Chains A and B, each alone.
Chain A
Amino acid sequence: MNRRHFLAAAGALFVEFPAFGQVPGAPSMKALDSWVAIGADGTVTAYSGKEELGQGIFTAQAQLVAEELCVPFNRVKLITCDTALTPDQAHTSGSQSHPANFNHGNLALACATAREALIRLASTKLGVPVSELSAVNGEVRSASKAIGYGELVGGQKFNLTLDPAAKRRDPKTWTVLGKPVPRTDIPEIVTGRFEYVQNVRVPGMLHGGVVRPPSPGAKLASVDEASIAGMPGLVKVIVKKDFVGVVAEKQWQAIQAAQKLKVSWTPGPALPPFAGFAEHLKKQQPTRDTRLLDSGDVDQKLASAATVMKASYYHPYQMHGSVGGSCAVADVQGGKATIWSATQGVWYQKSACATLLGLRPADVHVIFQRGSGCYGLNGADTVTYDAAVMSQAVGKPVRVQLSRADEMAWENFGNAFALEQRVGLDARGYIVAWDHEAWSPTLGNRPGPSTPGNVITGTLLGYQPEPFVARSPAPPAGAFGSSGFNNSSNGIPSYAGAGHGNVKSVRVLVHNVRSAFFTGPLRSPARLQNTFAHECFMDEIAAKLQVDPLEYRLRHLSFFRLRDALTEVAKAANWQKRPSPNPKRPKTGMAPGRGIAVVAYEGDNGYAALVAEVEVDLATGLIHTKRIVVSNDSGPVSNPDGIKNQIEGGALQGLSRALGEEVTWDQTKVTSVHWGNYRSLTLGMETPVIESVLINRPEEEACGSGETSITLIQAAIGNAVFDATGARLREAPFTPARVLAAIKASS
């Protein structure tokens, strides 16, 4: 769980970032005072490097602090992700906030250390042995005496390091953590008071607009500043290498100036073909090959298998498509910068902005200010660079709001994947070998301290994306059980025999190829795409053997958490054991079907299963999703309602991705640049019933639950359509045309 590197979306690419707490100037991760301060009035201020993105982690962290420190919930003040104040906990990403701060380390351990320190201080002050004292309601109490936290350390530092021996409170005694505490931000949000980064207003602030190239790879030829001379409110045209921006007094003026400015570009290279992109990917050279796992005997086991099955799947580029265009405000004056950003990594933003601005990192202050939901690497980082560079150029605070098209054409898309799988079955139908091979294009990534070029603005300013280093053949992979086995890279089937499953012979080989478009982590990076392939293929095998799909999965799973996830979801969904497709499926009208899928998210960061019930309109190919049931095990439940909200949203976001979302392009440019041609489901969609089964395991490590349901829904829908129609969907999104074509092909 303690991953110190960010795992890139491409399935196999490991990008090393500085270890947590090692960026110069960050508060020490080991010092208690970096995490907790107690005021003279007994108010608890906690500092965390994990931020609220709409997932509810702010409130959950405040619950954790209240619980471990034994103070009323409303006495906790939480400050997150401010480079002047909070510890460097790297990115808020990858479903890592719950594992990072709710286990025996970081914020949880800090609070436990503080509670024990307060009891020791009270023992000295009251002359009562520690064994006779307890922390209750912001006080340390004995049978006859009590002293408030404020009186014990109010305003003073603890000057202690986190104590690995400090005891967490027993989950059986929790009164705040584990409860459905309502989110503290929702009243301000629903009454229009909440300050998003889009709402930040600084005195003297100007507005910037960007002029992006017409196509990927285009280079700036010339800018005709005279074309907008005299426009009202215009302050400056900013040209730096290929970066073009305008600054104006008012937002509408900046928008118009950016639209009217005459800019000439040298076209970039032709884009790859949109039609047949999956086959195109498989032919690309050079490749960067990674073996995530190789038992070394797959070819031999396939050769001796009683039956060999093959299957191809394809998942397109998709986008984060945040509903708010990304926005940032920067104030760069006198060699110092203050930046309000919705970035997922304030410390990386600090170093990268220092690089871009030619400042010392110590002179750059980045304050996390929430934007609209990001789901990964949306435009938050790139727009922060836009604002910083433009503010420096005019010496005044500048706010930049990306337009819809600038957001959608240039964000770092979630990776496309072409997948090929083979399995070998023994005479009884058990899987004896699983061969998984994937091709995925990559360009850029989350920007690190020295790689601002991983997003569009950095590239335009002359920084390169991290280099594509060809590597073929792949170096050897670790075997099962060795340190080389790393399912957190999100490519390995859950059935592989490494403590999870019974399939002993497995090879997972990933070929990264160059992408024409920027790519980056999008909610459930690589795992969604790989799980679509794994879980639909599992269904194909079960169908060929005429075995119930749930039963067939259970035969190949040994780990109790995966088995429990499946049996719990099956129970809640009233799963009827029978093979797919449904033998009683209709030939016309509406065909009902059910599908199931299971995953070990990142191998060890959340266990979940999902059943989807659909009706397929055999005349139109439209998929109507009627019911979704999800079981979720993320260790101890810290806030049941928060987890349910994540499960529900994840399932429907995944449904939108499964049914309609696809980045499109023509010969020169991305063409899906607004909601008319990037097909997201809306709030008016036919919303299915969603039921969540939370599997609470207080004795296990806390793990993630923000990316479990979204990982499963596409596979489950594909399996449900197969159950309903006998047609296998191998390419997402499952548009009506593809459904009809698959039905035609299957009959």
Chain B
Amino acid sequence: MSAITLKVNGQTHQVDIDPATPLLYALSDDLGLRGPKFGCGLGQCGACTVIVRGEAIRSCVTPVASVAGVEITTLEGIGTPEKPHPLQQAFIDLQAAQCGYCMSGVILSAKALLDKNPKAQKPEIERVLQGIICRCFTNARIVQAIDKVAR
């Protein structure tokens, strides 16, 4: 165990943790965050996605020590139910969720894309969604919601 500084959604936390622990468990267990979720533990599905240095990364395969002191953004960090991020608002407007378990991967991957390329076209949107699994298959609405923000 060692003391590690985590900067998450604008707040700084000290956690006493095995430095090899995947970031996901630090976020969900030590900090009690609900956005990033366990899907596969293998980096295959995207449910655990967070944004670090502008990139959407898989927190289930990211050792916590590797992001010590670096700003980490989770799904709850970009908006609230009262004041959602434009992407979150588009998902509400289009009712682009069913069970909603995949939303960290979907919305944060889209945010990382649109932050770099606000006018991203559909093929680019589909490309960032390649590695994300939504088993409810809300695909049509999800692509539409991201596209709406990009237009």
Contact = CB atoms under 8 A, between A and B. Distances in A.
B100 A653 contact: no
Contacts of A185: 100
A72 interface: no
Interface in B119-151: 126-143
A45 interface: no
Contacts, number: 205
Given A191-B75, A323-B45, A403-B41, A649 B34 contact: no
A275 interface: no
A648 B132 CA distance: 18
A323 B47 contact: yes
Interface string A47-88: 000000111100000000000000000000000000000000
A322 interface: yes
A683 B142 CA distance: 8
A54 B136 contact: yes
Contact of B101 (A373, A683, A684, A690): A373
A112 B84 CA distance: 37
A253 B45 CA distance: 23
Interface string B70-96: 000011111111001000100110010
Interface residues of A, number: 67
A682 B46 CA distance: 11
Given A192-B103, A321-B135, A186 B91 contact: yes
A190 B91 contact: yes
Given A54-B98, A194-B34, A189 B134 contact: no
Given A187-B81, A687-B140, A680 B135 contact: yes
B21 interface: yes
Contacts of A648: 137-141
B95 A198 contact: no
Nearest to B82: A187
Interface in A617-674: 641, 645-646, 648-653, 655-656, 674
B38 A401 contact: yes
Given A190-B107, A191-B79, A675-B45, A323 B101 contact: yes
A325 interface: yes
A251 B25 contact: yes
Contacts of A651: 137
Contacts of B75: 190-192
A252 B137 contact: no
Chain B interface main SS type: loop
B80 A649 contact: no
Given A196-B37, A201-B32, A232-B1, A190 B97 contact: yes
A183 B92 CA distance: 9
A193 B29 contact: no
B122 to A, nearest CB: 9
Interface of B: 1, 17-18, 20-22, 25, 28-29, 32-42, 44-45, 47, 74-81, 84, 88, 91-92, 95, 97-104, 106-107, 126-143
Interface of A: 53-56, 182-183, 185-196, 198-199, 201, 207, 232, 250-253, 255, 320-325, 327, 370-373, 375, 401, 403-404, 641, 645-646, 648-653, 655-656, 674-676, 680-687, 689-690
Given A323-B99, A648-B140, A675-B45, 7 more contacts: A183-B95, A186-B95, A198-B28, A323-B45, A651-B137, A682-B134, A684-B129
**7 A-B pairs closest in CB distance:** A192-B35, A54-B99, A684-B130, A192-B75, A372-B101, A373-B99, A189-B100
24 contacts: A54-B100, A54-B136, A185-B100, A186-B95, A186-B100, A190-B88, A191-B76, A191-B84, A193-B76, A196-B101, A198-B37, A252-B25, A323-B45, A323-B135, A324-B38, A370-B99, A373-B101, A646-B98, A648-B137, A649-B98, A652-B140, A683-B102, A683-B142, A687-B140
